[in-house]
Every structure is written in C-alpha cells, then in structure tokens.
Structure 1
Amino acid sequence: MRLKYFFFSLIAIAFLSGCSNDSSANINNSSAEWAFKFVVWDGYIYRLSDEYVDDIVEEIGEVTNHSVIEDTYSGNFSNVYEKGTKYYAIQGISTEEAIAIEEEGKYRKAIRDGKYGEK
C-alpha cells in the first residue's frame, strides 16, 4: 500500500512541477504557443529577426495589445512586447519591408511577413 502512495506522490509532484505561476516564465517564453515571435503594425505582421539596427528615422507607433495566448487581436499587437513598446522606421528601408522595435535601448529589426490575420 505504501508503494502505491509513493508512486502516486511522484506522479503528482512531476505534474505539479511542470505547472508554474511564475510570471517571469512568460517573459522568456512569451511566444510559447505561437509559431514565431512578432509584432503587428498598421495591419501587417512583422516577424522578429536576430538583427539590430542603429539608423532609426522616427517613431511610427507602439504596442497597444499584448498576449501570450494564440488568438487574433486588434491594434498594434505583439506576442512578445508589452503595451507601450515603440515601433520605428529604419533609415533607407521601407516600412513595407521592415520596421524596428525598441528593446532595452537597442532597435531590433522585424521583417514584414504579410497581412495580419490572413493564413
């Protein structure tokens, strides 16, 4: 009988350790349910790249809605960045090609990937 309770306890501990209420887990895995990390600006989805840029022209918008849960949202949405994160135009690159996202004092390039909400 003790062995039965021991195995039940192990299973319960393993299951519960996989569940976390730690909000910092959402920062590092903010797009865990999405296919990729992105922002939406002006009705278009921009996929985040690993490239950072320096030549910023002007602020063009900001995140107005953020969620880590996959769905369709309105406004300038992101599955990574919090509400208020700024978007910028990049010198010499059309916003139809790419934009920059302010990230801790740097500007991360995001490549346009098509109309938001269309598959």
Structure 2
Amino acid sequence: MKKHFIKSMLLLYLLSTFVLIGCSNTPSGSSYPNALIWSNISYGVSSTEVSKDELGKQLGEIKRKKEPMPTENGDANDTQVGSKLFEIKGINTEEAIAVEKSGKFYKAYKL
C-alpha cells in the first residue's frame, strides 16, 4: 500500500510539472540581442565596459525604444531613451561604438 501511494504521488508530481511547463506563456529567455541602430548600422550591446578615457566625440543619443528589435536610426531595444552614443578612440565607428547605460559605458559591436 505504501509503495502504491509513493508511485501515485510521484506520478501526480510529474504530471503537474508537465502541465505547468506546457501552459506557461513566459519565454525562458529572449531570443533577441540587446541592440541599437546608429548611422544605418545595427550594433549588439556587449557587457564589455569602456572607460571614459577611451571615449571619443559624442555621436548622438537613443531616440526611441523599439521591441523586439530596433528598425531605424536612434532605435534601441534594451537601452533607455536619451542614452548617449560615443566614438571609441582608435576604433572605426563601423566596427564598434560606446553606449551609455546606467552611468557606465559599454561597447556595442556591429552585428
């Protein structure tokens, strides 16, 4: 009798788990990269920090937040409107730029 009860509880647990997972609407993770568009180039924002000493001239700022992916110049999907964009000294802007996020600067690479 005890064995039957344990098997029943295990089966109930497994079925409940499958139902809950199958009915979930929440995606397990975004399949879109953190991205922005500037000068008709799509950039992926990385977690690589850029020091203030490495910053060149300011290029502009983010004008619109666009999800799931940016579609035109000044759009970003994970960067706040008003965030500033900069050149990185010694790097062509067609390869990478710096983007301000929460008071820090991060490298954004051409996608």
Residue of structure 2 in register with 1:86 after alignment? 84
**What corresponds to 1:42 in structure 2?**
39
Deviates more, 1:73-82 or 1:101-110: 73-82
| Structure 1 runs of 4+ with >6 Å offset | none
1:100: which partner in 2?
98
- Relative to structure 1, is the Cα distance of residues 108 and 33 closer, same or farther in structure 2, using a 3 angstrom cutoff? same
Contact 1:65 1:75 (8 Å CA) reproduced? no
Give the structure-2-normalised TM-score: 0.66
Alpha-carbon spacing, 1:19–1:48, altered in 2? closer, same or farther (3 Å): same
Identity of aligned residues (%): 27
The CA RMSD measured in Å over matched residues stands at: 2.5
For 1:1-119, list aligned pairs within 5 A.
Answer: 32=30, 34=32, 36-54=33-51, 55-70=54-69, 73-113=71-111
Number of residue pairs matched by the alignment? 90
State whether residues 101 and 107 of structure 1, in contact with CA within 8 Å, keep that contact through their aligned partners in structure 2.
yes
Question: Is the radius of gyration larger for structure 1 or structure 2?
Answer: 2
Distance across 2 between alignment mates of 1:49 and 1:33: 15
CA contact (8 A) 2:64 2:75 kept: yes
Aligned position for 1:23: none
Question: What is the TM-score when the length of structure 1 is the normalising length?
Answer: 0.62
**Structure 2: 5+ residue stretches without partners:** 1-19
Q: Which runs of 5+ in 1 are unaligned?
A: 1-13, 21-28, 114-119
